Amino acid sequence: MKPLFQPSALRRTVVEMAYAGNAVHLGCAFSIVELVSALYARQMRYDLSDPDDPGRDYLVLSKGHGVMAQYACLHQLGWIERQDIDGYFHDGSRLKGLSDAHVPGCEVTSGSLGHGLSVGVGLALGASRRKAGQNCYVIVGDGEMNEGPVWEGMLFAAHAKLDNLMVIVDANGFQAMGTTDEVMALGSLRAKFSAFDFDVLEVDGHDLAAISAAMDQLMTTKNGKPKALVAKTVKGKGVSYMENINAWHYSRLNAVQYEQALRELGGA
């Protein structure tokens, strides 16, 4: 039976990891928690006993700095161990601060932004050529969409008619140095994806039921168009003092903040 991927439990794991490793990027992980939860709990096909099952659906975390949210899911799947969580960033440990393809369940090595969509397009193209019925989900950040290859990948995906590909934008409205509007205004992502010939839906990125309904609607529409889900999210979602505070891209938890975060998430 699949684990439950309950969002507050996932966030607690993120907080524990970040505190154990004195790690940053908490805000970036929190904004995608419901997205990865929906993917692992309902949307994706995978073999619990084999992360490399050739028939799996692919999850490409292109915004690799959100990886603690995925690690929390991988821990629930049993693909990474409790000691990986408690020993995060300790000397000789195996989980890095950015998505890494050597970790079971991580498809790409990202963090240098703008790589994942292209690899995801290749995976989706390979799957469609094999006619194996596999889907590929790529999570990109809205800030990441500053990168040119993202738009190259969108052109290619539409040209290759990859309706087994879904680009999920974590649209939290922030990037490292400010809001996306301040740094490099994106305008309407919905309009941009539509113009690139994607089927696109917008959704509240923290409403699990709405996310799943939107994903279902997109992926059951087999019309030769790649899919885009623009998820409106809150950077730092789930912990009061982090929500929409961009400093939690870079800040580290102190002991007081750690205890408060766990309390708010229903832990300690």
Partner 1 sequence: MRSAFSKALVEAAQNDKRVLLLTGDHGYALFDEFRRSCPDQYINAGIAEQNMVGVAAGLAKAGFRPVVYGLSAFVPVRVLEQIKIDVCYEKLPVIFTGDGAGLVYSTLGTSHQSFEDIACLRAVPHIDILSPCDAHELTACMRSAFAQAGPVYMRMGKADLGAVHEALPDLECGKLLRVLDGDHPVTLVATGSMVKAAQTLGRELGASVWSAPWIKPLDTTQLSSIAAGTRAIITLEEHSVVGGLGGAVLEALAEAGPRPVLRVGIGEQFSLTCGSHAHAMREHRIDLESVRQRIAPFVAKWQAA
Rounded distance, CA 5 to CA 9, Å? Answer: 7
Among 24, 95, 108, 242, binds partner 1 (CB under 8 A): 108
Decide if residue 226 touches partner 1 (CB under 8 A). Answer: no
Q: Does 123 bind partner 1 (CB under 8 A)?
A: yes
Tell me whether residue 58 or residue 174 sits nearer to partner 1 (CB atom): 58
Q: Is 109 in the site for partner 1 (CB under 8 A)?
A: yes
CA–CA separation, 191 and 32 (whole Å): 22
Residues 130 to 159: which contact partner 1 by CB under 8 A? Answer: 130, 148-149, 152-153, 155-156, 159
Task: Give the residue with the Cβ less far from partner 1, 129 or 222.
Answer: 129
Q: How far apart are CA 234 and CA 106, in angstroms?
A: 24
* Among residues 48, 54, 78, 94, the one that binds partner 1 under rule CB under 8 A: 54
Residue 194 binding partner 1, by CB under 8 A: no
CB of 51: closest distance to partner 1 in angstroms?
13
Asked if 268 touches partner 1 (CB under 8 A), the answer is: no
Q: Phi, psi (5° rounding) for residue 31?
A: -70, -20
Tell me: does residue 119 bind partner 1 (CB under 8 A). Answer: yes
In this complex, which beta carbon is closest to partner 1, that of residue 3 or of residue 149?
149
| Total binding residues toward partner 1, as defined by CB under 8 A | 31
The reply to whether 112 sits near partner 1 by the rule CB under 8 A is yes
Is 258 a binding residue for partner 1 by CB under 8 A? The answer is no
- Say whether residue 67 binds partner 1 (CB under 8 A): no
SS (H, E, C) the chain: CCCCCCHHHHHHHHHHHHHHHCCCCHHHHHCCHHHHHHHHHHHCCCECCECCCCCCCEEEECCHHHHHHHHHHHHHHCCCCHHHHHCCCCCCCCCCCCCCCCCCCCCCCCCCCCCHHHHHHHHHHHHHHHCCCCCEEEEEECHHHHCHHHHHHHHHHHHCCCCCEEEEEEECCEECCEEHHHHHCCCCHHHHHHHCCCEEEEEECCCHHHHHHHHHHHHCCCCCCCEEEEEECCCCCCCCCCCCCHHHHCCCCCHHHHHHHHHHCCCC
* 37, 118, 175, 212: residue in contact with partner 1 (rule CB under 8 A): 118
Using CB under 8 A as the binding rule, whether residue 114 contacts partner 1 is answered as: yes
Chain positions 86 to 105 lying near partner 1, rule: CB under 8 A, are 101-102
Among the residue ranges 28-36, 77-85, 109-117, 247-255, the one whose residues contact partner 1 (CB under 8 A): 109-117
Which residues form the interface with partner 1 (CB under 8 A)?
Answer: 54, 101-102, 107-110, 112, 114-127, 129-130, 148-149, 152-153, 155-156, 159
